[in-house]
Amino acid sequence: MRNIVILVGSMRKGGNTDLLARRFAEGAAEHNHVGIISAADCRVSPCIGCNTCFTREDHACFNHDDMDMIYEKLRRADVLVIASPVYFYGISAELKAIIDRLHTPMRSSFAIRKTALLLVGAASLPNLFDPILLQYQMILDFFHLQDCGKVLVRGVKDRGDIIGHPALDEAYRLGLSIE
Ligand SMILES: Cc1cc2nc3c(=O)[nH]c(=O)nc-3n(C[C@H](O)[C@H](O)[C@H](O)COP(=O)(O)O)c2cc1C
């Protein structure tokens, strides 16, 4: 049994990313412990690049905001799932702020070795996810992480557009495959 944490980057609660993440969680919960952290529920300041976390005990950040709760959950995680809407061909700014604050603990104190990626976007462009996929792969290479799988959903714009989309079953099956 693995401890899986899903970071949901959408600020639109109950939106397409949320629904996709929840379906993944239903599959994953068959064999694992699953927690969901929604960026919409968190107040996280950006990393200011002071680098004091390099030398502080536990590699803790000087800034005590909702990252304290996120660090605590991720410290016990084996698998990290990134779920985001496409915003200007990237992930959401709120999710990026959380990920930036993981830089030092990810390298020094977390046990996370596997990740998965769930993305939604409004456009139908074949290359819609390319910028995020490149960044994701480079992060995996840098931190020596293994990808468990991805679900990429094009053409979903308004809240609930994803309902009935086959990607929800794909997300369930991907979650189920993680043991
Ligand atoms: C600020 C902003 C930027 C966006 N940029 C893109 C984009 O570059 N490409 C795209 O296909 N969709 C873009 N979208 C559309 C969202 O990705 C789409 O509506 C998605 O379904 C939202 O997911 P949610 O319901 O989980 O919030 C953007 C939406 C917002 C609010």
What is the overall mean pLDDT for the chain?
96
Q: From the CB of 13, is ligand 1 less than 6 Å away?
A: no
Residue 31 tokens read as 């064999």
Strand order in the sheet with 33-38: 33-38, 3-8, 79-85, 114-120, 146-153
| Tens digits of residue pLDDT in 51-71 | 999 888 778 899 999 999 999
Q: From the CB of 40, is ligand 1 less than 6 Å away?
A: no
Sequence-ordered alpha helix ranges (H) in 29-122: 67-75, 93-100, 103-108
Q: What is the pLDDT of residue 111?
A: 92
Sequence-ordered alpha helix ranges (H) in the chain: 16-28, 67-75, 93-100, 103-108, 130-143, 167-176
Residue 154 tokens read as 């094009």
Q: What is the pLDDT of residue 10?
A: 98
Q: What is the CATH number of the domain that holds 167?
A: 3.40.50.360
- The answer, yes or no, to whether residue 39 has pLDDT greater than 90, is yes
Rounded to 5 degrees, what angle do the CA atoms 21, 24, 26 make?
110
What would the mean pLDDT of 159-171 be, rounded to a whole number? 98
Q: How many domains does the chain have?
A: 1
| Residue 121 alpha carbon, nearest atom of ligand 1 | 17
Distance CA 161, CA 90 (A): 20
What would the mean pLDDT of 145-152 be, rounded to a whole number? 98
Q: What is the pLDDT of residue 59?
A: 82
Q: What is the pLDDT of residue 60?
A: 86
Residue with tokens 């979903």: 156
| Residue 11 alpha carbon, nearest atom of ligand 1 | 27
Distance CA 159, CA 179 (A): 31
| Tens digits of residue pLDDT in 115-128 | 999 999 999 999 99
Residue 107: domain span: 3-176
Distance CA 83, CA 6 (A): 7
Q: Which of 113, 30, 111 is nearest to 74 (CA)?
A: 111
| Tens digits of residue pLDDT in 68-112 | 999 999 999 999 999 999 999 999 999 999 999 998 878 778 899
Q: From the CB of 116, is ligand 1 less than 6 Å away?
A: no
In terms of pTM, does the model score above 0.95? yes
